[in-house]
Amino acid sequence: MMRHSFLLLLLFAFGLAQAERPAQPETASGIGVVKEARGRLFMAVTAHPLATDAAVEILRAGGTAADAAIAAQLVLNLVEPQSSGLGGGGFLLYHDARTNRLRAYDGRETAPASAQRGRFLDAEGKPLPFQEAMVGGLAVGVPGLPALLDLVYRNHGRMLWPKLFAPALRLAVEGFPLSPRLYKLLAEDRYLRDDAAARRLYYEADGKPKAVGTKIVNREFGFVLLALAQHGTKLFYEGPIARDIVAAVRAPHAKNPGDLSEADLAAYKPIEREPLCGERLGHRVCGMPPPSSGGLAVLQTLTFSAELAGRMPLAAESVHHFAESGRLTFADRARYLADPGFVDMPVRALLDPAYLTARKALIRAEASMGRAAAGELPAQQSFGEEASAELPATTHLSIVDAEGNAVSLTSSIEAAFGSRIMVHGFLLNNQLTDFSFRPEEEGRPVANRVEAGKRPLSSMAPTVIYGRDGRVVALVGSPGGSRIINYVAQAVLGLLAWNLSPGEAVALPHYGSRNGPTELERGTAAVQLRPALERRGHTVTVQDMTSGLSVIQRRGDDWVGAADPRREGTARAE
């Protein structure tokens, strides 16, 4: 089979790319070297070296994968503030080695109780431009991450709760060096400087970002960490922190004050859901159910792409087939998926083998289908197609501990730096822009429309893969907005269909379709396939595709882990 580490690195180094450069909320910071590690005892892969160090510190001290994930996530709030944090939410899969059971935890944000369906419509009933909606309190949902971490700790933690805060607390008080990636994002952002607290923390008096390597001391966040370590996350949802969050959201930030209330915060609850699993490529692949579309969409895409096993990942026919698979997947996603607490989710029907076989038959080897229509489901309410931006400011971590417990956690504040509102040293999300701005489409309700207390649809796709013997064989996940689905599906194909190592899988040039143009990753050899794809009728765009894959795979008696070379992540093992 295929073992092309050196070839793949050469393809990255010498790939061709010519196209207009569209703006991305969390842009590329260059493609570096693949960061792969191997160990027998435990493995941690996160989006930043200091977060990986925190996970290793906890694992060495005898903590579980849950303990390590909590410590790493708290550090990420500090060192990668554009991507995730206490002001956001996430989805977490936990494999419990003692019970051999996979558990799925939903920490997605919720809309305030006062939210109305026309929240993101202008006076004429037209959807607001995204750039107008995303900054300020109107886009802020009730944060779910603190409650999610608390629930996972109570079910799976072992170390004393305060000890999990120690690595982040040290960095908050003593400082951490501002990284090149964070510097680049700070320099590019148009809005963050307008928040006084964020400006003091990250910028010089002249408005330029502090230099790379500058020690960032965030004592205000340190006080929050200390309070939560001593008193638990209830303090986040009730009391002074909650009051300050509400005050910041309701303040007149430009023209977008929000309507979040203290009652909204006090009422928030994370939800344990049933994982969504299916047999694919000789393995059991498991992900999150709705309101994440990630689990279902990855399973659909893998079904449509199964015959790519044994083919070359960068052959034109492989890219064509994978892009066509994505069209079918994203068509169904846009029509049917939303918060199951508000809309009946036809998950079983969308994964029915007969339905998937009929959908797959629409893929033609010689020509693109263009834009796919959603499949028709019997006795299913007719919905309009949703339209949400879902921007790629997210993070992912994968951890396996010495006992075989495993965590796959994807968390986010939505756009880079979220709503650009900082409270007590952390940024608040703008996840409500993940709802469809249009509540109706051609007279039909949109499943993912804004409603009070509802969780917006997500593409976050933390994934756990089991072998035929029932043991965990791999963990996969990535940031990247709605592209997460294609990133994760491609990485799973890399591991299971193309026999690539984790390092090779995360380094594959990206390609795919979200039921629009076929997207090829700038600066990689995938771009050379553009003429061949256009001859098949594809409309092709070349873009930065800033994934942040974290992959762990069991190889023999060892764990092998790799962090995406497009970001600053690292893998460490013992």
Catalytic residues: 394
**Single-letter code of the amino acid located at 266:** A
Do 105 and 151 meet the contact criterion of CB atoms below 8 Å apart? Answer: yes
**Single-letter code of the amino acid located at 35:** K
**Measured CA distances, 18 to 314, 520, 541 (Å):** 18, 11, 10
Q: Which two tokens stand for residue 266?
A: 């006090």
Among 46, 48, 77, 54, residue whose Cα is nearest residue 551: 46
**Measured CA distances, 495 to 220, 269, 322, 340, 501 (Å):** 43, 35, 15, 31, 6
Do 23 and 523 meet the contact criterion of CB atoms below 8 Å apart? Answer: no
**Single-letter code of the amino acid located at 421:** I
**Measured CA distances, 379 to 155, 177, 332 (Å):** 39, 57, 16
**Measured CA distances, 197 to 225, 255, 340, 452 (Å):** 17, 19, 37, 30
Sort strands 518-521 and 540-543 into parallel, antiparallel or unpaired. parallel
CA–CA separation, 498 vs 494, rounded Å? 5
Do 102 and 275 meet the contact criterion of CB atoms below 8 Å apart? Answer: yes
DSSP element (H, E) containing 542: strand 540-543
